[in-house]
Amino acid sequence: MQLYNNLSAKERAELIEQAGKERLTVSFYKYAKINNTEIFRNHLFLAWDQLEVLGRIYVANEGINAQLSVPAENFEPFKNHLDTISFLENVRLNIAVEHDNFAFLKLKVKVRNKIVADGLNDASFDVTNKGVHVNAEKFNELIEDPNTVLVDMRNHYESEIGHFKNAVTPDVDTFRESLDLIEEDLREHKEDKKLVMYCTGGIRCEKASAYYKHKGFKNVFQLEGGIINYVRQIEAEGLENKFLGKNFVFDERRSERISDDVIANCHQCGNPADLHTNCANEACHLLFIQCDECKEKMENCCSSNCMEINQLPFEEQKALRKGQGNSNDIFKKGRADHLPFKKDLRNIFESFEPK
């Protein structure tokens, strides 16, 4: 019984190319009580491996969070399998705006403590007591309301390349950081303001909406299906697009363009740019924004030092990495000190005055 991958990413990529099948990039989540997560995890792997599903799926006692790709010809069997699981029947599936057959190269189904890392240890906090879900049309109405505070629940490197007009964009590295920060800055407006939130696919907002209701906020709303679903709705219904730039995604594509606006800058030269890349030096692997000119000049590296290392023979690079562990810069995601045009840290509400 195969419960884990036995092919490398390279081998899988070759098979995908040889197959020549169109693949769909799909994401979904569901908060639900799952008792035996290991058995559930194994069940999913066995079923989805047969359908050639690839992706990153987290299972926890609080539910499931999945980002994956599936051959278009297997989409209906995949959906039918989901419908055989009681709490996943008719679950909303977010189909990506842009597809890439190589977005995922392995099937990884992992058991985690939580499907969204939140750092919360409050037994009285009920994640199912969520805020009001709104569609794209209602969302557009709400964010024009002067009594609304619109908050981006994503991290700084996500909102840096794209966000909704007039949104408060927390300058944080983790979801957990934003929870307390937003509550503190809006503590005087728990009853008189409408707190409207959005994220990539809805999963962070769902937990955040339940958290803020738990903390006493009276009017809490979230964008149903996040940015991914919003884009599909505005295109289908001919609604005004209020999103600027690109939507950051967590696969090999790294982003989907939503509007023609380029709102970010290359972290190396400062010119307009909104394409994230990882430093080619495997000992660094820093995620940062790099324009095409700097990409060519710096050979896809974040610094001259990394470029020099990356030019060494592979075995020498491997020897240098041995026993060193990951560079701390990996976790800075574009805020490493040597990047002259990195995004500056600031208070998220310093320019926000409640109306």
Q: Decide if pLDDT at 202 tops 70.
A: yes
From the centroid of its chain, how far is CA 38? 25
Task: Using DSSP, state whether 19 is helix, strand or coil.
Answer: helix
Handedness of CA 302, 255, 99, 205 (dihedral sign): positive
Dump pLDDT digits (tens) for 94-107: 888 777 888 899 99
The end-to-end CA distance of the chain, in Å, is 60
User: What integer pLDDT is reported at residue 317 of this predicted model?
Assistant: 87
**β-pair type (243-248, 162-164):** antiparallel
Average pLDDT for 312-341 = 79
Catalytic residue among 199, 205, 284, 306: 199
Identify which has the larger pLDDT, 244 or 17.
Answer: 244
Query: Is 199 annotated as catalytic?
Result: yes
Q: Decide if pLDDT at 355 tops 50.
A: no
Q: How far apart are CA 143 and CA 148, in angstroms?
A: 6
Angle at 112 between CA 255 and CA 33, to 5 degrees: 105
The torsion defined by the Cα of 60, 66, 72 and 74, in degrees rounded to 10, comes to 0
284 C-beta neighbours (distance < 10 Å), count? 22
Contact 236, 214 (CB under 8 A): no
Quick one: what percent of the chain has pLDDT higher than 90?
A: 63
Contact 180, 266 (CB under 8 A): no
Instruction: Using a cut of 0.85, tell me whether the model's pTM lies above it.
Output: no
Q: Decide if pLDDT at 15 tops 60.
A: yes
Q: Is 105 exposed, middle or buried (0-12, 13-18, 19+ CB in 10 A)?
A: buried
Q: How far apart are CA 245 and CA 258, in angstroms?
A: 6
Average pLDDT for 46-70 = 95
Domain ranges of the chain: 9-111, 132-237
Average pLDDT for 53-74 = 95
Average pLDDT for 141-170 = 94
Dump pLDDT digits (tens) for 183-197: 998 989 999 999 999
Helix axes 37-50 and 75-83, enclosed angle (nearest 10) = 150
Helices (H), the chain: 9-19, 37-50, 75-83, 136-142, 156-159, 175-185, 203-214, 226-237, 292-297, 304-310, 314-321
CATH of domain 132-237: 3.40.250.10
Element spanning 164, H or E? strand 162-164
Q: Report residue 261's pLDDT band, with 50, 70 and 90 as the boundaries.
A: very high
User: What integer pLDDT is reported at residue 351 of this predicted model?
Assistant: 45
Identify which has the larger pLDDT, 222 or 174.
Answer: 222
Q: How far apart are CA 134 and CA 149, in angstroms?
A: 15
Q: Decide if pLDDT at 339 tops 80.
A: yes
Say which DSSP state 272 is in.
Answer: B
Q: Report residue 1's pLDDT band, with 50, 70 and 90 as the boundaries.
A: low
Identify which has the larger pLDDT, 309 or 11.
Answer: 309
Average pLDDT for 9-21 = 85
| One-letter amino acid for residue 323 of the chain | G
Q: Report residue 329's pLDDT band, with 50, 70 and 90 as the boundaries.
A: low
Domain 9-111 = CATH 3.40.190.10? no
List b or e across 166-186, with b for residues whose CB sees 16 or more CB atoms inside 10 angstroms.
Answer: ebbbbbbeebeebbebbbebb
Phi, psi of 296 (to 5 degrees): -70, -45
Q: Report residue 331's pLDDT band, with 50, 70 and 90 as the boundaries.
A: low
Q: How far apart are CA 4 and CA 7, in angstroms?
A: 9
CA distances from 289 to 120, 193, 334 (A): 31, 35, 7
List b or e across 298-315, with b for residues whose CB sees 16 or more CB atoms inside 10 angstroms.
Answer: bebbbbeebbebbeeeee
DSSP string, 318-334: HHHHTTT---GGGGGSS
Q: Which of 114-123, 254-263, 303-312 has the lowest mean pLDDT?
A: 114-123
Q: How far apart are CA 71 and CA 54, in angstroms?
A: 9
Q: Which of 140, 155, 141 is nearest to 348 (CA)?
A: 155
